Amino acid sequence: MSESTVVVFGDQPPVHLDRVAGRAKVLVCDENSLPQALPTADVLLVWDFTSDAVRGAWPGEGPRPAWVHTASAGVDRLLCPELVASDTVLTNARGVFEQPIAEYVAGLVVAMAKDFHGSWELQRQRRWQHRETMRLAGTRAVVVGAGPIGRAIGSTLAALGVVVELVGRTARQGVRGGDELPELLPSADWVVSAAPLTDANRGMFDRAVFDRMKPSARFINIGRGPLVVEKDLTAALVARRIAGAALDVFEHEPLASDDPLWDVPGLFVSPHMSGDTVGWRDHLADQFQDNYERWCAGEPLLNIVDKRLGYVPVD
């Protein structure tokens, strides 16, 4: 193969592509230079996966990258009709974030069950107040999203003794179908959103869902922000129709300092960090370079996204 051109969109902090640099021409671009760079690219690495710029700059007719890789699990910020219809192959970062996110969710579940927040607040007040907390083993969790992240969450919670129901788009072995979610909600102590964002499930966690949850239940979203109707979640927490919630992703990011979500009672807010552990950027760079070597060798790429579904199909 002749020297290829790899365009890297977003390089703050810098991505180290030592194995690619010696074999390809590597161009780094930002939102302003992306439209000019895209037609020259054989491969596009979307390092800044928080931006919508690729979707806006994607060329309709004419030259375009043969392969696009995003350093994220979600691909909703990239997909546009032109990209979906093209023969460009799209891959994602499946395999990097699953276990860190599962650990993060497990940490939230333990912290809520054991009322760590209450203990820290009482410590701040120098108050000795004995309390009883929830026994985690035997509680029930409904994890919505049966892909690799949802499965990792399920197995990690199961190791803590939680009874887990996985819910996917369609029913299959070990997975309940999405149409079964309403009947699972009333018995759930934990409802975890780990689904990809598609047109079909945007806003799926709305008042109807929160109304079906029991008052002692908690809700956690580490999937995508627009899966949740935030005003409906806020109303459920303010009215104490559910006991608590944690959001790591939001409809608009970063969350503005004056956003009312910061002050919602019973809501834990974190800045889209559930999958980001020490060294995660190096793992992302290595994953891309491994796949690049497969591409150069003419071998099938890993983590190919079904662009019409919006995720990597699970066997």
Q: What is the DSSP string of 102-145?
A: HHHHHHHHHHHHTTHHHHHHHHHTT----------TT-EEEEE-
Respond yes or no: is residue 224 known to be catalytic.
yes
Pick the catalytic residue: 151, 176, 224, 230?
224
Pick the catalytic residue: 140, 207, 272, 281?
272
Question: How many residues would you count in the chain?
Answer: 315
Pick the catalytic residue: 253, 293, 294, 299?
253
Averaged pLDDT for residues 3-16? 91
* Token reading at 11: 């390089």
Respond yes or no: is residue 130 known to be catalytic.
no
What residue spans of 187-229 are helical by DSSP H? 207-212
* Whether the predicted pLDDT of 2 surpasses 80: no
* Whether the predicted pLDDT of 244 surpasses 90: yes
The pTM of the full predicted model, rounded to 2 decimals, is 0.94
pLDDT digits (tens, 9 = 90+) for 52-99: 999 999 987 889 999 999 999 999 999 999 999 999 999 999 999 999
Respond yes or no: is residue 253 known to be catalytic.
yes
